Amino acid sequence: MFTNALLLNDENAEKLAEAGLYSIFVSIDSLLPEEHDSFRGMSGLFDIAVEEIKCIKERGVLVGISSYASKTATERGMYINEIMKYSEKIFNSSTIPPLSSQSWQNSVEGFLSGIGCLAANIQYYVSAYGEVSPCGFALPDR
């Protein structure tokens, strides 16, 4: 499950854990709270996300951080090539928990390694409207 954590409160975290949710990815777009909030268009969302990560972890759900390499991030030294190299190193060393990077997974190296795209293989996407698709990037036209 991917979320911005806005509605991931104690009650919902408990329901998700009881329903058997194995893992959740919370969007963190910047380590700077004000920048994250600006990207998401809501003041205080960074702090909410951090608190709700703690909340769901307390219930035994595996938590990951979902982010992306924006133009701003790459200007600060977060280069795609370095992300791909680091992802490959983590994947090849069987580090737990692993790092998941779509830039590496969708690369030729990722495909040849046997991982490739996870869409409809081990993940799927359910929109806020209940539409199911193999991936959040492959949504039907509305």
65-74, 95-104, 125-134: which has the highest mean pLDDT? 125-134
Q: Is the pLDDT reported for residue 49 higher than 80?
A: yes
| In the block, residue with structure tokens 């969708």 | 106
Does the structure show a pLDDT above 80 at 79?
no
d(CA 64, CA 52): 12
Q: How confident is the model at residue 64 (pLDDT cuts 50, 70, 90)?
A: confident
Who has greater pLDDT, 114 or 2?
2
Q: What is the predicted pLDDT for the residue at 129?
A: 77
For the chain, the straight-line distance linking the first and the last C-alpha, in angstroms and rounded, comes to 22
Question: Is 59 a residue whose pLDDT tops 70?
Answer: yes
